[in-house]
A and B are shown apart, each in its own frame.
Chain A
Amino acid sequence: MDSKQNKSLYEPAIHFQHVSFEVGDTKILDSITGSFPTNQITVLVGPSGAGKTTLLKMCNGLLSPTSGDITVQGRAIHEMSPIDLRRKAGMVLQNSPMLAGSVYDNLALPLRLQGKTLSKEKALDILDQVGLEGEYLERDSQNLSGGQQQKVSIARTLMNESKILLMDEITSALDPSSLNEVEDLIRTLHEKHEITVIWITHNLEQAKRMGQYAWIMVDGKLVDAGEISVLDHSDIPSVDRFLKGDFS
């Protein structure tokens, strides 16, 4: 791993220093040290159970490491208020639920939590950004297709205007055309608003399409990180097999 060299190239948006996470005797994350560079799309790949979701939830403050330190934009997260951290680093999960109510109710949620209301213009604007027509605003969120729900879910997280977006398998339930739309949306957001994106995906083709920087995790360890080309080949035979699409 050439993390020293990378540090000089990029100011990290999130930095991990010997981060471990244990539940009982099980080590789920094992002394992770590395960074997610600012204003880049970092793709996070690795076999099922590698600890990717666990790591992502830590960046949003839903979990805390059992040892080690995480800094977000240079500040240690245990010194930040959890609410601040969560608004700074917004998260979308593959199965983020829709709350009962209309699409508008879901979009308004992040503001409602702060005692504010969402104007109709702003709601329509955000719907437009994620590629949904205005008529969806009053629809019952439970009756949307999986792809539409995923777009609403992304739009909902965008309401906090987070500078860091944490995305966990957000396209794995989508049909190819919705998948393209969501990829374009994230790319546009990233370019227009200088947003740092961390993107977990099982799809190595997608990782290479979307990512500028990559992390490879296996069994709770960070086995490689660097420019996206690290996904082309690994010197570790088992990791190389994973990169060639052999999941066994």
Chain B
Amino acid sequence: MRPLWWTQILAVIRLEMKKTFFARRGLWIYLLALAPVALFLAHSLVEIHLRGVRHEMATQSRPITEQDLAAIHEGMTREEVIARLGDPPASRITMRRMPTGPHGFELIPGEVLRYSDGSTELTVVLEKGAVVGTGTTSGSSLGQDTHIFAGVFQFFFIRLAIFFGCLGIFMNLFRGEMLDKSLHFYLLTPVRREILLAGKYLAGLLAATVIFTVSTALQLTAMLLQFDTATISHYLYQEHGISQIVAYLGVTVLACIGYGSIFLAAGLLFRNPIFPAVLVLIWEAANPLLPSLLKKFSVIYYLKSLCPVEIPVDPGMPPLLALLVSNAEPVSAYIAVFGLIALSVAVLAASMTRVRQLEINYTAD
């Protein structure tokens, strides 16, 4: 026999599910979650296509090595280049605008000759018939991509996508029902308000975690899509790939737990969600600048410590932004997980005292 409170929580989740998963009002959350997936997918498809093109080019003409390219230097004419490297399998005409004064500019014609050794593309850049430079592009490596994934995950996915997604889902739990004037139906059933709150939180959490962990998993899949099985298994088994993936999924879940509890509380406390949203966003963004005691009261502090890949600090980065990236005093994983859950529980406990005082007042809004 299930205890009554559990039956009631399940009933609340059952009622809320429709609103959290299938509401037209919440459609944009799916958009937010799927946008990065589309991005990584696009990147993989482009890379796969380019790899095909490079391979194709190498079969059309003599494969050119990097030593061949090294023999080309600035100032050589097109003919000299072709004499050394042969006819390029592909080339591209370019036109560059060069400003000559405050108003005028000059058009400089140019050409890019493209060669390939099968996996790397070698280019010779000509302007006005003379070589101005050479270059190689070999597509993105898994190492690069995992770093970029780390950046997008921290800066776009956690801070913006999950943040606003949780804002939408969790603020709606109470505020949305007050707007629809249907909250009183819950309050007129023999359900303790604490249980109602827990049920609603779990329903929101279910929706948020499903939507965003699926998104994370899809993003990782889309990112890995362009690489062959050997590279992927090397990454997974030799370069801690599996633990990274688990960490990303875990961070996603924890982000939903943390932001969810905060926005659930905000939905109970504030009539206007913009103020808390802006406040929390600024608070989270300013986290590295806070004294170490206050730092512990923010979600991103723990999440950042748990992110598996450190984001390299670009030397050209403005100092404030660099501060955002660096994690001066990373905490251990156990403390981070425990701290985040403790923070969420504390926020939820505060909401519970608030929900006991809750009065129905639909008119004021």
Do they bind each other? no
